[in-house]
Structure formats: structure tokens, C-alpha cells
Structure 1
Amino acid sequence: MRIKRFAAVVAATTMTIAFTACSGGTNASTDANTLTLASVDQGSVEDVVKAFEDANPGVKVNFTTSGADQYQQQIRTQLASGTAPDVMTVWPGNGNPGATFVLAEPGYLMDLSDQPWAAQLPESVKSVAQYDGKTYNAIFGLNGIGAIYNQEAMEKAQLTPPGTWTELLTFCRNAAAKGTPAFALGIQDNWVTQIALFALVATTVYGNDRDFDTKMQAGQATFADSEWTTAMAKYQEMNETGCFQESPLSTSYEASQELAATGKTLGIIQGNWVVALLKGKNPSGTFVLKPLPATDDPATFVMPAAAGAGYGVNAKAKNTDLALKFVNFVMSPEGMRVFNAKQGSLPSLPNSGSEVDPAFTDLTTFINDNRTVPFMDQLWPNAKVQQTMLSGLQEIFSDQATAQQVLTRMDAEYQAGS
């Protein structure tokens, strides 16, 4: 999940859905002063585009924004057919159809290794921005996943963030009794299904075994015979306890934001990127991100935190010079400040000058204390593992599959390799 971003994610139901244009079609012009851009950074890329245009008088960016599911259904087809934009959202690693490895391997992305920021990327970011030793992804931010609380709604309900798993279940019961569910869950958009699960997996799987990914890669561990089963069970227990609003399967990501922003729920389990969207819907609201408890021992808590989605350049871009100028602007102190501030992400480069939202104090502490793990899908060998997980989680919520069945399917896809 890259989510966004670090959503992120996938299964195609149709290949004919058109992007929702925000400023003309992405291939509307081949003028030397016109750039085409496709992005999933709804609500934040707009300010970056404006700043870029202001810094480059005479330049026009024709861009589209869309949700992760819709975007991923389209981008590979557009690249293969030669209709893709000059610059596009690209996720880190290998976990979905729009990820770095998936798009770089067939030659769809331009090598950005010689750009001034590429050598400055931290090793943890560089490893998922590169393919075969070359950098293809301009990753500007770091993201984390946790429980995001609406402070005003919490005060009205006279409740405080839970600090242990037992307290979390009690919190959910108390919230439901007050008529305000604890968390909004919008899994009509299937990429959202993974977010709460990743928050639980971080602690249950990696809290006592930071080498789990290495063991998976060596064939010494599986999803179905690991603490992933515990995380799945806890996710289901949260649902059964009433931690979420009614009908998560018929609630979209957008609708879940509305619930959390307006206090119809006390919060939402999401990535830090959603805070900016919540503030957009409730400018006077105060939101704070905390680790989601998965055990009764806070010392074992680990948060998912990793490189967020960045931007790649089409290897067949119609305006290469302007495309490179845009990604370099995104990675500049000025561009990064605009993006990180608007999106609520943490800067990927040191000394960027970005200010970190106080809402992310806990996340910053976990990152600094090395109590984080990458979003799980970033290190999986192919995109099918994630697709199987996402569709499987929807089946679990609709009582069409069991957790064990889904984990077994994930193992089969994982073992198929790249």
C-alpha cells in the first residue's frame, strides 16, 4: 500500500474508466511550455502545481487527479499505448500496478539517477525508489498509519485515546453506546481495507520479529502460519465489537472522511495524509494521529511508516525537459515544503525546511526511535499478493471468505514470485 498513498491499490474491474480531469486532459498539448500530469494526490498537488507555475512564468500544467483504484486501473494501459502523461504518480517498491518496480522493469519510466536529489535519498527510501540500482521515483514524503482522532468529537464524547488493545475494545463499546462509532471505515474503495490491517500487523507480526520479511523471502515463514492470523482476527474482532460505523462495505473513502471530519465518528484509521483532507472538510477541527493498539504492552507497539507515493517521468514523455523540471521542483526545499505542509507528510530529504504538523508528534517519535516497519506490500514480490489481500478482505467483511482462506491465497501469490 502505498498507501496513500501510501495509498494505494488496485484490482481492476474495468479498463475503460476515464480520469476525472481537473485541468484539461493529460495529453491535451505537446507545447514546450505545457506539462501533462496524472496524480492521486487530491487536495495537495493543486497547490504544488500552482507554485510550480508561479515559479515558471508561461508554463502550464494540464493535470488530472483520481483515486488510487481508478488510477491504477488506467496507468499501465496508458503507458503501454503511448497515451500516458509526462509525469505520473508512482508508488514505492513492488506492491501494486503503479509501483516503481512494476513500471520500471518494462521500461516505462525514465532513469532519474542523475538528478541532484537522487543521491541524497535515505537508504530506506532509496531501496524502494530504485529498480536494478537506478532511481525512477521522486519520493518527497514519508507517511505513517495509525488511529486519527477528532479532538472535539472526543471531548464531546468524554473519551480519550486508548493505550492498549483491551482499552481499544472498551473505547469502541463506549463510543457505540454514546451513538458515535469509534472509527470511520470506507472499504467500498478496496485499497482502504488494508489500512487498519497494516496498523495491526505492524505490532502483532513485527513487534517481536523484525526479520519477518527476510524469513518470508527465504521461504521460512508464511502469512497463514504466522501472526498475520492474529492481526486478521483482531481486525474482525474490532468489526464485531462495533469499532466501525454501519455498512463499511457501502461507505466510500470520501464518505469515511466526512464522517470523521464532522464528528459522526470519533476518528478514522488511516495514513497521515488524510489529516489534511479532514481539515479541508472541517477547517476548525483538531486531529491527532496515535498508534493503533494491538497488544496490551505498549512497549511492543510498532507503527507502519514508509516512503509515500512520489512522481516518475514517462520514458516517452512528450516534454522531457519540463517533466524533469517539475520533479526537481517537487524535490526542492520549496516544492517539498508546499507538498509536505499541504499533504501532512514528513519530508524524505534531510534539511528540507518542512515544518511537521504537531498532529504527527507520535509518528515522528516512532520514526526517530526506529519503531516503524515499511508498509508491508512494498517488499512483496509482485502486485498480485496485495490484490488478493484487498479483494479477500472485502470478502471477509461480506462473509464470503475466512481469514485463513485469504492468507492461504496470499501465500500462493507470494510464492509465485515476481
Structure 2
Amino acid sequence: MKTRTLTALVATTTAATLLAACSGGTKAGSGGDSKTLTITSVDVGSVEDVVKAFEKANPGVKVRLTTSSVDQYQQQIRTQLSSGTAPDVMTVWPGNGNPGAMYVLAKAGYLRDLSDQSWAPKLPAAIKSVAEYEGKTYTALFGQSGIGMVFNEQALAKSGLTPPDTWTQLLAFCKAAKAKGTPAFALGNQDNWITQLVLYALVATTVYGPDRDFDQKMESGQTTFAKSQWTTALDKYLTMEKSGCFQKNPLGTNYDGSQQLAATGKTLGMVQGNWVISLLKQKNPEGTFTLKALPATDDPAQTIIPAAASAGYGINAKAKNKDLALKFVNFVMSPDGMDLFVKKQGGLPTLADTGYQADPSLAELSKFIQANRTVPFMDQHWPNAKVQQTMLSGLQEIFSGQSTPDKLLKEMDTDYQAGS
């Protein structure tokens, strides 16, 4: 996510908040009615209630909401912006790394500057760093997300197994779960943004654990993907697959299908962003789901979680209804709007003192954030969107036997070195 994001996210990631398709497209930019606002979002399952609350708080206002899958949205948004068919308000991912990211869209002049809004200077430094382009804020980042093992507590209890906190325990956990007939994790690699999440969770510890300055070294040319611990993380990802950590045929399972497996106890859980918890609860209202850090070494003290700002919202620089668009973004960043959004997503707010009480399922994520044992989703600091796209398609090719880890990392290096 990148959606880390994720991501996707995972995002991602993220992560964006990175979610499944829920409508017939994103063509929603026409019309200049001062009481009608057009929004396109990937926050399926959470943005709907936020929109309802916004309409209730603004009598007479009508929101035309279109939701879209992450892949569909990222393929279309630049074309819509350049052709004048984009909505007033749209999902924008923090930092860089994908076609819908803040840096990419702000650099092209597609986003309204939000620096003059009261919430902008209040963003924490780590969040602000991925909300700004050339010192100006262009995206309203309302929530923080993390990537880890999301367990179905009822299925876990039935298995008699205990969540692992070391790499050796993780592999043993996967083998034991498989032997009991219930794979450890559902993996929906048919949707290519899903492929990055396990890798990001492993990279956080293997790469950034020993070297928090890795991004700066990449920027200065002191290291590369192919000559770093990214190779170790990718090897561990494939070791998990060979050890039976995932259900059969991850490439034949999409995001929604993977949720169904985890929600119904056909797997013990999934490696995902915390945004998936609310979706799992929709599929299984009686279920309890908890996020735990994915271990990558045999020292639990070394484990780091990828955690960063989730996808937020930006305003089209050529919005048909700029005033209403600004009102909506400010509602999202208000205590009421932010709390409602993160509650629906199962996330954490970016601004302090909102009064939000985090779900117990996020206790470990909160602990890691407070202890500074997190790193941003990797793609948020990459110089262009091509690196992530190469990674996502390359991971699918590796899972289908059409590529190799060495080839993928070299291709990512080539794209990274091409710059912005």
C-alpha cells in the first residue's frame, strides 16, 4: 500500500485505502450546479457514510459519488483530468509512486493548493512530507494505515495455533495451518496491487530495520534494489508461498475473493492493510479481526510495520464547483468527518485530539506507531509511478513462473534511475 499500499496497498498504499470495484466507472466531471458536487473515490464501504453525513450537514447539497477499483481509477484519472471530465474531488494518494499520487498530479498542475486551509499546518511532519509538493499541500490526508497479518480470531482459536512473532515461527505456523486444512493467509494476487503488500511488510524489517536511511541512499545512488536487502525480502515472500502460507492459486483469487476466504474462516487471515478489517466485518458481522506485525527475522525487537498516511482527497484545479469541493475536503479533515472515516475504515486519524477511540483490533499498530517502529509505504518516496507498476506486474509474473526476482529488481532499478 500503496497501497503500500499499499501501496496498496496497500495499500495501500496505500494504500492506499485500496478497495474493490463497486460501480460502473469514474466519468463524473460534468455539471456546474452550485449545489451539486462530483466525487470519485476508491474508498468503497467507507466514503458512502461520509458523503451522507456531509449532505446532512449541508441541506440542499447533492453529491454525485462514483466509486472505482484502484486499478481502474489509476488507469483513468490522468486522462479524465487532461480531458476536463474529472470530478471536483478525487482520491489522491500521498507522496509519489503511482498514477494517482499527489506528486504526480500536483506536478502536472491538476490539483488545487490546499495550504491555506486551517488543518494543513497541523499535519504531523511525517504526514506533511507526503502531502506536499514544493512546499505546498495538495491532498487532505485524514487517516493512517498499516500493513500486517489480519487474523480471523475465531478461525485462529479453532485451529489451536498462536500468531507468530519470529520468522521461524511464521513458517512453522504456515505449515501447521496447511496440515490442518486451513491455509494461514488468503492472497488475492489476481488484482495486481495486492501483490505488493506481503513484500512491503517484509521489506519494512529486512531493509529499513538495519538501515533507516535506505531511501536517501537510493536517491543518492549509493545502493539499488538489486544490491540491497530487497533481495532478501523477495526471497522470503517466495519462501512463504513455497511453505504453504497462502491458499492454492493466489493468481486466480481477487481481492474480494481473498476477503471472503478470511472472513469465513477458510483461511486464518490475510496479509493486508488495516482498512480490510471493516470489509471483513461486513462479510462476517459476528467475526473478530486483529492486525499483528508480520515478522521477517527471528528477533521480535527488530520487526517494523509499514505504516503511513492512507489515500486522501484532492480538489481538481479545474473543478466545476470549487467552493463545495473545498467544503467537502474540510469536512473530511474536521474531527467529525475524520473520525467517521477512520471508524468506517478501521484506521487511525492523522490529526491528534479528535477524540477518536481506536478499535482494539489496532492495538498493536498503535503501539508500533507510538514507538516509532514504522516506515512509510515504500512507493511514497519513489521518483516516478513506473517503479511501482513494474513491481506489481513483475510480481504477478513471478507467481506465474514468467519472471525471476533478479530480473524484477533490475527492472525496478532501471525505472527508478530514470527519475521523475
TM-score (norm 2): 0.96
SS at match of 1:41: coil
Q: How far off its partner does 1:30 sit?
A: 2.1
Is the Cα contact below 8 Å between 1:7 and 1:68 reproduced in 2?
Answer: no
Sort the Cα spacing of 1:252 and 1:202 in 2 relative to 1 into closer, same or farther, 3 A.
same
CA distance in 2: counterparts of 1:106 and 1:395, whole angstroms: 31
The separation in 2 between residues aligned to 1:66 and 1:254, in whole angstroms, is 14
Q: Could you tell me how far 1:9 is from its partner in structure 2?
A: 7.3
* TM-superposed deviation, 1:137: 0.2
Shift of 1:7: 2.6
Q: Which residue of 2 aligns with 1:49?
A: 51
Unaligned runs of 5+ in 1: 11-17
Say whether the 8 Å CA contact 1:224–1:407 is kept in structure 2. yes
Q: CA deviation at 1:21?
A: 4.6
CA spacing shift, 1:294–1:5, aligned 2, 3 Å: closer
Question: Which of 7, 16, 33 lines up with 2:11 in the alignment?
Answer: 7
User: In structure 2, what residue type is equivalent to 1:247?
Assistant: N
Aligned to 1:305: 307
1:82 & 1:159 partners in 2: Cα distance? 54
The Cα offsets for residues 193-247 of structure 1, whole Å up to 9 and x where unpaired, read as 0000000000011111111111111100110011100000000000001100011
1:235 partner SS: helix
Q: What CA deviation, in whole Å up to 9, does each residue of 1:377-410 have, x standing for no partner?
A: 0000000110111011001101111101100000
Q: Name the amino acid aligned to 2:324.
A: L
Q: Which 5+ residue runs of structure 2 have no aligned equivalent?
A: 15-20
The within-5 A match list for 1:20-169 is 20-21=23-24, 26-27=28-29, 29-169=31-171
User: CA separation in 2, counterparts of 1:28 and 1:374?
Assistant: 36
The structure-2 alpha-carbon separation of the partners of 1:25 and 1:407, relative to structure 1 and needing over 3 Å to count, comes to: closer
Q: Distance in 2 between matches of 1:26 and 1:259?
A: 33
**Any idea what SS the aligned residue of 2:127 has?**
helix
CA distance in 2, matches of 1:304, 1:56: 37
Taking the aligned partners of 1:376 and 1:355, their CA distance within structure 2 comes to 28
Matched, 1:366 2:376: no
Aligned-residue RMSD, C-alpha: 1.5
- How many residues were matched structurally? 410
Q: Give, in whole Å, the separation in 2 of the partners of 1:358 and 1:400.
A: 42
SS in 1 for 2:129: helix
The alignment's TM-score, normalised by the length of structure 1, stands at: 0.96
Q: CA deviation at 1:66?
A: 1.3
Instruction: Give the match's secondary structure for 2:63.
Output: strand
Letter in 2 for 1:120: K
Partner of 2:284: 282
Structure 1 residue identity aligned to 2:267: T
Residue of structure 2 equivalent to 1:327: 329
Q: Which amino acid aligns with 2:416?
A: Y
How many percent of aligned residue pairs carry the same amino acid? 67
Matching residue of 1:175:
177
Report the Cα distance in structure 1 between the residues aligned to 2:155 and 2:33, rounded to whole angstroms.
50
> In structure 2, what is the equivalent of residue 13 of structure 1?
none
Q: Deviations over 1:26-69 (max 9, x none)?
A: 23532111100000000000010010011111111101111111
Mark the CA change 1:249 to 1:6 in structure 2 (over 3 Å): closer, same or farther. closer
Q: Distance in 2 between matches of 1:6 and 1:256?
A: 14
Aligned partner of residue 139 in structure 2, secondary structure: coil
- Summarize the alignment of residues 197-216 of structure 1 with structure 2, pairs less than 5 Å apart: 197-216=199-218
Question: Judging changes above 3 Å, is the alpha-carbon distance between structure 1 residues 66 and 171 closer, same or farther for their aligned structure 2 residues?
Answer: same
Partner amino acid, structure 1, of 2:168: T
Partner of 2:274: 272
Counterparts of 1:214-293 in structure 2, within 5 Å, are: 214-293=216-295
